[in-house]
Structure 1
Amino acid sequence: MNEYRINQLLENLKDPDEEIRDRATAELWRIWFEQKGAIGFEVIRQAQLLLETGEIKEAEIALTQLISDLPDFAEAWNRRAVLYYSIGEYKKAIADCKMVIKLNPIHFGALHGLGLCHAAIGEYRQAIQAFRQALEIQPYALINQKLILECTARLS
């Protein structure tokens, strides 16, 4: 990845102009999905289709194989975390989110997902921490602000 371009996109996420932020968000997602070229992207796409048609086990197998083949492909870990979250396997999703963040510390999607997982199992302090980290990268992400308030309310 071109470090200058990534830094420019990260700055754009902090721009008051929503259109600039939206373009930067979309471009970062594109970069992350295409990190390992057409083959990696295609496996992720196929796994998503399997997930959408309820073929959870097949989607998990495809993503696990992709992770085995390309262990530094952060988006493969992220997609499997999404799968685990969608079936209520929050601890597995947390582990995968942490791996995404280790590989790609600016992955606001994984930070958001990590927060969702912690909130789902009642770990509100950890959830708040993850949502705050996501907000450092995407300060205008209202969903994270809202979820911080919800988690804070549950602590009282």
Structure 2
Amino acid sequence: MSQRFFFLTVVLTLLLGAPAGAGQGSAPLDSLFQALRAAPDDVAAEPVEGRIWDVWLQHPDETLLAEMRSGVLSLNADDYPAALDAFDRVVARDPTYAEGWNKRASAHYMLGDYESAMNDLRRALLLEPRHFGALATLGLVYLELDRPAAALRAFDAALAINPHLPNLRRQAQSIRISAAGLAL
């Protein structure tokens, strides 16, 4: 499976049903992450994961949220330069908004600017260390840079936070198999 296809699958999976919600660092996130880890299977985890995305996407500034929506629509329409422009405005408006950095990283990734994507993902993770979406994308960036060991560390970190990401589990397993020198 190509890395871009895998990235789009991860992004779309993580974005589905994720309307604007609350912001990193809020108290409800702790209980949501506990519920996510305690979910018995991937299906049971889906609504909890969706609520986490709701919280991450929430922001009190309606103008910023309009820019986020514009950027996400552009990203989903494969208009990566327009998405990047929108997310540039988001992070300029609030540099403490982790999801703005995460989304901007996605646009950089799709444009092939892996260094910028990595920098934005690091900013997102400084603001929200439990951001499994940012960790997953960081792993994809490392794969593009032919750094499979670093990619595996990022994927494992994402899975430690959210063990209910089947595509990510498969990707991590593929790296492990390749590292062991086994054919798929």
With the length of structure 2 as denominator, give the TM-score of the two structures: 0.76
How far did 1:54 drift? Answer: 4.8
Question: 2:167 and 2:73 mapped to 1: Cα distance?
Answer: 26
- For CA contacts below 8 A with separation 6 or more, give which structure has more relative contact order: 2
In the TM superposition, 1:1-80 aligns within 5 A as 1-3=25-27, 5-14=28-37, 15-80=39-104
Q: Is the 8 A contact 2:80 2:110 kept in 1?
A: no
Question: 1:85 and 1:47 mapped to 2: Cα distance?
Answer: 14
Q: Is the 8 A contact 1:81 1:92 kept in 2?
A: yes
Question: 2:162 and 2:80 mapped to 1: Cα distance?
Answer: 31
SS at match of 1:11: helix
Say if 1:82 and 1:51 are closer, same or farther in 2 by CA, change over 3 A: same
Say if 1:65 and 1:126 are closer, same or farther in 2 by CA, change over 3 A: same
Q: How many correspondences in the alignment? A: 155
Question: Higher helix fraction: Structure 1 or Structure 2?
Answer: 1
* Equivalent of 1:93 in 117, 127, 144: 117
SS at match of 2:146: coil
With the length of structure 1 as denominator, give the TM-score of the two structures: 0.89
> After the TM superposition, which parts of structure 1 deviate over 6 Å for at least 4 consecutive aligned residues?
none
Name 2:127's counterpart in structure 1. Answer: 103
How far did 1:134 drift? Answer: 0.3
Structure 1 unmatched ranges of 5 or more: none
SS at match of 2:105: helix
Q: Is the 8 A contact 2:139 2:150 kept in 1?
A: yes
Letter in 1 for 2:149: R
Question: 1:76 and 1:66 mapped to 2: Cα distance?
Answer: 6
SS at match of 1:106: coil
1:123 and 2:137 aligned = no
Question: 1:145 and 1:54 mapped to 2: Cα distance?
Answer: 26
Structure 2 unmatched ranges of 5 or more: 1-24
| TM-superposition CA deviations, 1:46-96 (whole Å, max 9, x none) | 112233445433332221122112000111111111111112211211111
Q: Is the 8 A contact 2:67 2:89 kept in 1?
A: no
